[in-house]
A and B are shown apart, each in its own frame.
Chain A
Amino acid sequence: MLLEVKDLRVEFPTRRGVLTALNGVSFSIAPGEVLGVVGESGAGKSMTGAAIIGLLEPPGRIAGGEILLEGRRIDNLPLAEMRKIRGKRIGAIFQDPLTTLNPLYTIGRQLVETMQAHLPLSDAEARQRAIGWLEQVGIPAAAQRIDAYPHQFSGGMRQRVVIALALCAEPQLIVADEPTTALDVSIQAQIIALLKRLAREQRTAIMLVTHDMGVIAETADRVAVMYAGRIIEIGPVRQVVRHAQHPYTAGLMASIPPLDRKVERLAQIDGSMPRLNAIPPGCPFSPRCPHVFERCRVSRPELMPAGATDAACWLHDQPGASA
């Protein structure tokens, strides 16, 4: 495994007590694999990505668990050490390309600087490679546009530059947080195709955080579904999309408006996700769950084998299985 996250717990101390934003999150990603992380806003999916790249917003802190990159812990490294890993071994792509790019530097300078920070390259070599990366991500006339500033690019082009920046030091893992959310569908399709090609050709592992199940279905090999700071289901994309085992995943899939037909009434999950300061005891989904029974209200289910996926749901607790 390239990345292993074990029982990760992230807490936010506030005036009114400690909020647990992530609770017992465990998963792993292999080289060349695309893991999709989905969930509604506030579920903790971006927080998981931020914890992995060591960029949790203070006062948020890792309060438990481990993050391992190629078997070596990276969650407790000193800042300077982590900075060497970030960029070199873990690349990050964020939702808004404007906040990632420095508006005062040409994109060429930003690429060259990033590469020289991590790789022993001369100026000429770095520039040559920068042009190569821009071509890779599909920027036309890269040799001319390398000296342009971010504002001279359109949104889709900027996101490509951000991807080139994340790739240029050749990281083994890319954490992409809503990389296509700010983009139009036709550009989104181009970016998805690019990410898939990277995973296939460069064996780059990708953690793709998004709320868009369509993007996940097209891109990911496996999916983790998050709810109220926990992974409630994880498994191969086909199984999770078609044969969801957790009632929340099933509800989420059913509420997506279908493109291929008109339905009289969309399936909906009543209510909304609990806030961090009011997570119910037992299963966090129990107040909204159509299959709720007594056990769900008092005791919290851990991930357990359920069909072809793992789901945190008591419905799948067969007699004899460990609970």
Chain B
Amino acid sequence: MIAAKELARHFDVSKPWLQRTLAREPKRILRAVDGVTFDIPKGTTLSLVGESGCGKSTVARLVVGLYPPTAGQVLFEGKDLAAARAQPEMRRRMQMIFQDPYASLNPRWRVHDIVAEPIRAFNLVPDPAAQRERVAELLRQVGLSPLDGGKYPHEFSGGQRQRISVARALSSNPEFLVCDEPTSALDVSVQAQILNLMKQLQRDLGLTFLFISHNLAVVRQVSDRIGVMYLGRIVELAQSENLFLRPRHPYTRALMEAIPDLEMTGRSRTPVGGEVPSPISPPSGCAFHPRCPLANDRCRAEAPAMLDGVACHAVQEGRD
């Protein structure tokens, strides 16, 4: 349904021209996303996980067209996204849910108007009475009361606000939803409510999801396939259960090792050393090599290509 081909997005983070010229500095380019390829079949969920700065949110924004790509393209049902988004009908079919329900809802609008906005923008239900009915139905669908439509966002808790965001995203009858850390700002008991709701909606409405998260446990609950990102690239892409049962890339393994686990009470473990390098000056070769226990000269010199779901020389050479 949706596919990304060698998608890249670079940001120019140079100092202003005059300063740069006087200091004889070169331009500084931040390669937020650097060649990402994936596809999401209809009705399934692809998740992208990674630490902060790995480019996962930038991918989300590229996929819905909030940023134009620097290189590569996004295909929506085989058509280039840039062309597809020119048609309102195509825009209607994709929606986004953001991380912070405190920032993504207009505090001066009533919930009814927030949820109805996409309906009005695409002129889906012109009759006001029918529109009211549709909003009430959406609010019921996400577990709120139709009476909540008359309230303002500040009257709701974080979890309820995220339900409003979901209702708004659903109001244009989309087929594809991009969720950027939809539960990261929520408490854990409320997070479970929202994750259950999203899974329920996917079953009922046949939605396709691109799910962005830093939390591997959350991702395991919702995904069909998972892409692990590091410094602007996908380093491993696999079926969800395979990834957890048989993580192959050293970074995926390190990430899983690092997660504090309830079952591990009292046991100690060895944390991964080092930190994510700056995407402005990424390491040569494989970006993970300075932290990788399996790195050798080839890793330092040559960036590995994605082969059979994993981009790692060591795995491909059988050194792992």
Contacts and interface: CB of A to CB of B under 8 A. Distances in A.
Interface of A: 40-41, 154-157, 184-190, 192-193, 196, 211-215, 217-219, 237-238, 241-242, 251-253, 255-263, 265-270, 272-273
A288 to B, nearest CB: 9
Contacts of A262: 220-221, 240-241
A263 B256 CA distance: 18
A188 B216 CA distance: 15
Interface stretch (B35-43, B60-68, B90-98, B182-190): B182-190
B258 A188 contact: yes
A255 B272 CA distance: 28
A237 B263 CA distance: 11
B306 to A, nearest CB: 22
A238 B189 contact: no
A215 B260 CA distance: 6
In the complex, which range does the number of interface residues on chain B fall in?
Answer: 35 or more
A255 B218 CA distance: 11
Contacts of A265: 196, 199
A253 B262 contact: yes
Given A192-B260, A257-B195, A186 B271 contact: yes
B261 A259 contact: yes
Interface of A is mostly: helix
Contacts of A190: 271, 273
Given A186-B258, A266-B196, 10 more contacts: A185-B260, A187-B275, A192-B271, A214-B261, A214-B262, A217-B261, A238-B265, A241-B265, A259-B256, A266-B192
B265 A237 contact: yes
B242 interface: no
List 8 tightest A-B contacts by C-beta distance, closest first: A214-B260, A189-B271, A40-B187, A255-B192, A184-B51, A268-B192, A266-B192, A257-B217
Contacts of A186: 51, 254-255, 258, 271-272, 275
A308 to B, nearest CB: 14
Interface in B209-268: 214-218, 220-221, 240-241, 244, 254-256, 258-266, 268
B196 A238 contact: no
Contacts of B240: 262
Nearest to A216: B260
Contacts of B199: 265
Contacts of B157: 272
Interface of B is mostly: helix
A40 B159 CA distance: 12
A188 B276 contact: no
Contacts of B216: 259
Given A185-B51, A255-B189, A217 B262 contact: yes
Q: Of B159, B217, B273, which is in contact with the most chain A CB atoms at under 10 Å from its CB?
A: B217
Given A185-B259, A193-B271, A218-B264, A257 B192 contact: yes
19 contacts: A185-B214, A189-B258, A189-B271, A192-B260, A193-B268, A196-B268, A211-B187, A211-B188, A214-B261, A215-B260, A218-B265, A219-B260, A255-B188, A256-B217, A258-B220, A258-B221, A260-B261, A266-B192, A268-B192
Nearest to A255: B192
Nearest to B240: A262
A259 B187 contact: no
B189 A40 contact: yes
A184 B56 CA distance: 14
A4 B260 CA distance: 29
Contacts of A211: 187-188
B191 interface: yes
Contact of B265 (A157, A187, A217): A217
A42 to B, nearest CB: 9
Given A214-B259, A256-B217, A257-B221, A272 B159 contact: yes
Contacts of A266: 192, 195-196, 221
A253 B261 CA distance: 12
Given A217-B262, A217-B264, A189 B272 contact: yes
B215 to A, nearest CB: 8
Nearest to A260: B263
